[in-house]
Structure 1
């Protein structure tokens, strides 16, 4: 019979650092989704009611700048947290 497992305990600092790193990874997916939105806009080549190219470029570069700022903020926040994994000495 298998022994019952004890619950996995993670220190608060290392747990928070892992969640911030997960947020950084999720930011990539969010960026791809936001950059795909202009593909759903009407083209306007036939009806003339589409989004202009200048507005689409403003959107793309606006999303790009916001992703850079979000990544910078999350990276600074994750480096400020204490690292709990390196203090124990065990792998």
Structure 2
């Protein structure tokens, strides 16, 4: 909890929990140095994770209206339907109603 409050995070997420656990390791600096990072990199990763999570949550609140399957049909993208159906519009425009 102290770790999260010190970094002013809104919620204790898995990223914050993992960072707090790393911080508690006795020789965390040498462990991170082996990976060529420091603890500041972990803190920045938490900020990045929180931003991505907020964007995902924002998208879930207001989903985009893409038009669904009817929009695909109106633009002619019907690969499966084209295999089993006949386009009457093409037949009528060509003057050939009967096959």
Give the TM-score range, shorter chain.
0.3 to 0.5
Bigger CA radius of gyration: 2
TM-score w.r.t. length of structure 2 = 0.37
Larger relative CO (CA 8 A, sep 6+): 1 or 2? Answer: 1
